[in-house]
Amino acid sequence: MTHWQLGLALLGVIAYSLLSHVLMLHAAHEPWAVAALLGPLLAMVGAVAWRGRHRLGMWAVLLAALALLVVALRGGVGDVKLLYLVQHAGVHAALGASFGLTLAGPGPSAIGRVAQQVHGTLQPGMARYTWHVTLVWTLYFFAMATGSVALYLWGPWDAWSLLANLVTPVAIAVLFVGEHLLRYRLHPEFERVSLLDTVRAYRNVPADR
């Protein structure tokens, strides 16, 4: 991935997030809107399921989401907004579980595997740091899933849509960039790499077959 490809991807995420928020507020129950809102996200989950370490769980989430999408498009869901909740909270819960499971295993944590792609063999202090970063991401994913359900149950729909479509990508970007900057203050032994190199490392982490 080059710098301009990363820039285009970021612009695409911004445009999709804004479009999703507008569609959820003004056309949430339209079949074409349901497909437009959930299709790209299902494709992303499918890609994660294909490459991921815990394929069975991710495939279960993907198949369940696809089944719900088909039911919704056929008019079999009472309130399609519930489908959006299941998608948002479900994906975050699945990611939290996927990251969390790597904390207990004998191998490197999820972020540790990414760091190995960039820095090679990790020193013990570096491995501990990546373990704690993985823990932070795990807690974030579960917190977002919990907050999503709570806001859906007890808050207005426009506030939930704001959380799902605008707050979520901003929070991920803040965590990603913030950790990238904090890493070198806490652990200067990490070789300095660009954000683009970090993104490439995420994409190149080998999947466990």
CB 127 within 8 A of CB 103: no
In this structure, what DSSP letter does residue 106 have?
S
Give the mean pLDDT per block of 10 residues along the chain (209 residues): 63 80 80 73 65 59 66 63 85 89 86 80 84 95 97 95 94 89 77 62 53
Give the pLDDT of residue 209: 39
- Cα gap 170→45, rounded to integer Å: 19
- Cα gap 120→197, rounded to integer Å: 13
* Predicted structure pTM score: 0.79
- Cα gap 148→141, rounded to integer Å: 11
Give the pLDDT of residue 30: 75
